[in-house]
């Protein structure tokens, strides 16, 4: 099973990925968790740019595609082929949203990715109001980076919510306790 958690920064994706992985493991399932951008060379360049200043839109998109191709070849496909549950914190839907907020056509980004990237069985959009998300970012001790500016997050949230009509997509309200959010994820999977 291939599961992806998406949403703007501050919605609790990393926490929910770990809780979901623990739940599957408690059922005896083998689970692989990962995130994008990865810790591989292209992903590292992208992560560095969040703190040092964003790359040009064209370079940023190219780096995301290269990072994702490597991620799929080296981790995602082998794990799925071995029958493992794969749970990702971000995937190409984030590229659609964040690069879409920079002026690229989200549909074109999706088409480029789906030419090589497997579609998840379940896509969870963890949704939270932009101001509440920015408060959470500050509460965890972080300062907002180049990807977390208010206007950009608002555009990203709009793009994420635009996916809600698809049958494999579940929108989960994260403006509630962590355990309730996790219960909603598990309920959708059952």
Nearest to 94 by CA among 52, 43, 143: 43
Q: Report whether 100 belongs to an annotated binding site.
A: no
Q: Report whether 9 belongs to an annotated binding site.
A: yes
pTM (2 decimals)?
A: 0.90
Alpha helices in the chain (DSSP H): 13-26, 41-52, 57-71, 77-81, 92-100, 106-114, 130-139, 150-161, 178-189
- Kindly tell me if the per-residue pLDDT of 162 is higher than 90: yes
- Kindly tell me if the per-residue pLDDT of 147 is higher than 80: no
Q: Report whether 22 belongs to an annotated binding site.
A: no
CATH number for the domain running over 2-189: 3.40.50.300
Q: Extract the tokens encoding 162.
A: 């635009």
Write out pLDDT tens, residues 33-90.
Answer: 999 999 999 999 998 887 788 888 899 999 999 999 999 999 999 999 999 999 999 9
The Cα 7–Cα 113 span in angstroms is 18
Q: Report whether 10 belongs to an annotated binding site.
A: yes
Supply the pLDDT for residue 150: 64
Higher pLDDT, 60 or 145: 60
Domain layout of the chain by residue ranges: 2-189
């Amino acid at each position: 099973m291939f599961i992806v958690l998406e949403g703007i920064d501050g919605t609790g994706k990393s926490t929910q990925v770990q809780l979901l992985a623990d739940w599957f493991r408690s059922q005896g399932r083998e689970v692989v968790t990962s995130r994008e951008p990865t810790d591989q060379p292209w992903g590292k360049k992208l992560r560095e740019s969040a703190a040092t200043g964003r790359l040009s839109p064209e370079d940023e998109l190219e780096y995301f595609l290269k990072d994702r191709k490597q991620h799929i070849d080296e981790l995602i496909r082998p794990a799925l082929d071995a029958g493992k549950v794969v749970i990702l914190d971000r995937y190409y839907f984030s590229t659609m949203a964040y690069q879409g907020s920079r002026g690229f056509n989200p549909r074109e980004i999706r088409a480029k990715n789906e030419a090589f990237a497997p579609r998840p069985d379940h896509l969870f959009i963890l949704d939270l109001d932009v101001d509440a998300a920015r408060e959470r970012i500050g509460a965890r001790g972080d300062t907002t980076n180049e990807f977390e500016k208010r206007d950009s997050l608002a555009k990203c949230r709009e793009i994420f919510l635009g996916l809600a009509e698809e049958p494999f997509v579940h929108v989960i309200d994260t403006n509630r306790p962590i355990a309730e959010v996790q219960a909603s994820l598990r309920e959708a999977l059952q």
